[in-house]
Amino acid sequence: MTTHHVLVLTGAGISADSGVRTFRDANGLWEGHAVEAVATPEGWQADPRLVWRFYQERRAQLRTVQPNAAHHALAAFAADLAESAHTFTLVTQNVDDLHDRAGSEVLHMHGELLRLRCERCDLVVHDALHFDPGRFVPCPECGHPRLRPHIVWFGEVPFHLEAIERALRRCTHFVAIGTSGVVYPAAGMLQQARAAGAVTWVQSLEPPSNLEAGDRYRAGRAAEVVPGLLRELAAAIGVATSA
């Protein structure tokens, strides 16, 4: 029996269906702020209170949203693959915890809103309690007065790149869900999967920038399209589904 490895990349489109606000608007501003002001190390150094307030608002919003049908379908699909001796890697560009709450194991390549990091001792802590935009959280290990968001800002290196590269080299099927195809290095994963000989699937509201004719494209909202897409993929590789 052929053993398959399915690699899934998710972007803002899957979280938008749960009501998570996307950071960037049509004018390139993040909630009314220039990207340089709230999403770069330089912005953090120049005005940490502004950056902290921005991310505290994003963190607090997580308490108002829930995983949608696409998140749950991915978790169930991973379990079905495991029962059939196939393997699965889920990578997300999103910094929310919706995949985690749906039951998935996920590589957060751009970091996580519910984690904070100390710039002095590198301690990373999970924090789902402190959402006050006017009060920094000190490091419980070394006492540094303010932890920073555990987010990959522009100019910083994404997390888990080695694990992602390993998954790309061995994947037989690659699925891009709700991605724009313009933010690198994530946008390059579709091309790398094609080069590895993988069957490529793409879901989005509109065709992304990196779509090619050979990709199996499914248009529509993630919550509506992804469950059926995964059933189609499961049938293609001979996996019985629980859904």
Question: Can you identify the CATH homologous superfamily of domain 21-64+112-151?
Answer: SIR2/SIRT2 'Small Domain' (3.30.1600.10)
The pLDDT tens digits of the residues spanning 150-168 come to 999 999 999 999 999 999 9
SS3 220: coil
Average pLDDT, the chain: 93
DSSP E strand boundaries for the chain? 5-10, 87-92, 107-108, 111-117, 124-126, 148-151, 173-177, 199-204, 216-219
CA distances from 222 to 10, 93, 120, 174 (A): 10, 15, 40, 16
- Domain ranges, ordered by start, for the chain: 1-20+67-110+159-243, 21-64+112-151
12-18 average pLDDT score: 95
77-105 average pLDDT score: 96
Active site residues: 110
CATH classification code of 1-20+67-110+159-243: 3.40.50.1220
**Does pLDDT of 35 surpass 90?**
no
Residue 152 near residue 109 (C-beta atoms within 8 A): yes
Residue 4 near residue 175 (C-beta atoms within 8 A): no
178-186 average pLDDT score: 84
Tokens of residue 222, six digits: 């993630």
Q: Which residues contact residue 125 at a Cβ distance below 8 angstroms, ignoring those fewer than 6 apart?
A: 115, 116, 117, 140, 147
Residues 152, 115: Cα–Cα separation, whole Å: 12
User: Residue 59: what residue type?
Assistant: R
